Amino acid sequence: MTLLRVDGISKSFQGLRAVDEVSFEVAEGSILGVIGPNGAGKTTIFNLIAGALRPDSGRVHLAGREITGHTPHQVTAAGMTRTFQLMRPFYSMTVLENVTIAVLAGGGAKRTARTAAAELIDRVGLGRWRDAPTEGLPTAALKRLELARAVASKPRVLLLDEVLAGLVPAERAPVMELLEQLRTDDGVTLVFVEHIMAAVMRLSDSVLVLDLGRVLTTGAPEEVTRDPRVIEAYLGEDPHAHA
């Protein structure tokens, strides 16, 4: 079943067509990887479908209901949550308090919210920062906090914007495992923007390739990474850029 359907969405900024007639579908319980060069429009697409920006044209459907132009709050209530490429936690609170609030926002019971939050914090590898104030956390820890908060809100669709960026390989492994578990154990549908190709290859059922605001191609990971157009537009630019 198609859970998320995007039909021809476009968005211009001062005449620049950042997103140009982009369409794609995501089946329930599947993982879509989104790749493309810097400025291709990946984050803008998340902004458009999660309600941070209103598309100039096009439509977005979630579970068969139109959510085009809905506010971020309405989109979250409809079952779709996103992470930010640059995270925005509540800086005055600890890691545990931040995630507990997200658990409660996701409908978790008050009595068990802190325990559920602590578990999630361990799963993303943030255990040693649990009672630390969020302010002053290193970027890698903030990224994992952002992921924990998004997961805590129990979405049906989770939009992840470069959650692995800034993590060293040893830190990436548990996060990738968590994403796989979310799909397998919790049935969460994932759409993730990522430059680290090893993660794209391992996690994605299919890959959407963007270039200059348009869909360049879409297909199985092995298929798109062999596509000469994808190599030219993205993969060939620097052999070390996506390791």
Ligand X SMILES: Nc1ncnc2c1ncn2[C@@H]1O[C@H](COP(=O)(O)OP(=O)(O)OP(=O)(O)O)[C@@H](O)[C@H]1O
> How far, rounded to the nearest angstrom, does the alpha carbon of residue 150 sit from its chain's CA centroid?
9
Q: Which of 8, 13, 74, 173 binds ligand X (CB under 6 A)?
A: 13
- At residue 242, what is the residue type? H
Tokens of residue 15, six digits:
């005449």
- Rounded to a whole number of angstroms, the minimum distance from the CB of residue 205 to Mg ion is 22
**Which one, 36 or 79, has the nearer CB to ligand X?**
36
What three-state secondary structure class fits 50?
coil
**Which one, 44 or 134, has the nearer CB to ligand X?**
44
**Which one, 18 or 157, has the nearer CB to ligand X?**
18
The answer to the question of residue 39 lying near ligand X (CB under 6 A) is yes
Give the DSSP H or E segment for 80: strand 80-82
**Which one, 13 or 91, has the nearer CB to ligand X?**
13
- Rounded to a whole number of angstroms, the minimum distance from the CB of residue 44 to Mg ion is 8
The answer to the question of residue 72 lying near ligand X (CB under 6 A) is no
The answer to the question of residue 90 lying near ligand X (CB under 6 A) is no
The answer to the question of residue 42 lying near ligand X (CB under 6 A) is yes
- At residue 148, what is the residue type? A
**Spatial contact of 11 and 56, defined as CB atoms under 8 Å apart:** yes
The answer to the question of residue 189 lying near ligand X (CB under 6 A) is no
Site for Mg ion in 13-52 (CB under 5 A): 42-43
Report the C-alpha gap between 30 and 4 in whole angstroms.
Answer: 11
State the number of CA atoms in the 13 A half-sphere of 82 facing the CB: 25
Which partner in ligand X, Mg ion, none is near 134 (CB below 5 to 8 A by kind)? none
State the number of CA atoms in the 13 A half-sphere of 44 facing the CB: 24
- Rounded to a whole number of angstroms, the minimum distance from the CB of residue 42 to Mg ion is 5
The answer to the question of residue 83 lying near Mg ion (CB under 5 A) is no
CA distances from 70 to 63, 66, 86, 123, 139 (A): 14, 9, 22, 32, 30
User: Of 128, 127, 111, whose CA–CA distance to 119 is shortest?
Assistant: 127
Binding site for Mg ion (CB under 5 A): 42-43, 85
Binding site for ligand X (CB under 6 A): 13, 16, 18, 36, 38-44, 85
